[in-house]
Amino acid sequence: FVPTFHANLRFFLVDNENWYFGGGFDLTPFYPFREDVVHWHQTARAACQPFGEELYPKMKAWCDDYFYLPHRQETRGVGGLFFDDWTEGGFQNSLALVQSIGDHILPAYLPILEKRRALPFTEDQKAFQLYRRGRYAEFNLAIDRGTRYGLQSGRRIESVLASMPPQAIWKYNWQPEAGS
């Protein structure tokens, strides 16, 4: 019942005058618990709070839009924060934002990990986890710009593929049992 999470923060320096930040964090539970999702988003909001009330809804919407599988018409998970080509407020403000987001990643995730890691699960629940991991892999391979760039560049292929789940399954036209 421990969800997958993804986090990355990046800085690109083109030259002394051209730079930008990007990154974020998102949560992909296979079996979502409402209290975990609330905690995740409250922590994400807290990371953005020092930079204005409008920032969290903006980055949350950006995350929801980015981590979407259009061919499935579903999201990869329950969202979080996402931003790219970020220069708003100048360098120092952007750097402070990235530091704040980085400071909130573990407080967002570790309490969920601690609560869920010892929960017993059935074979059917494990099969569903592997099925959902397939969706995670689909997103990474078909949609994620960073993964696609890494594969197309021909460099460090193993590093790119290391983000894939260690096991995943796909089932043709499968529907989960109601209430499962």
The residues annotated as belonging to the active site are 6
Where residue 80 falls (left for φ over 0; alpha for ψ -120 to 50; beta otherwise) is left
Secondary structure tally for the chain: helices H, strands E: 6, 5
Which has the closest alpha carbon to 103: 136, 81, 77? Answer: 81
Token pair listed for 125: 């629940």
Compute the residue count for the chain: 180
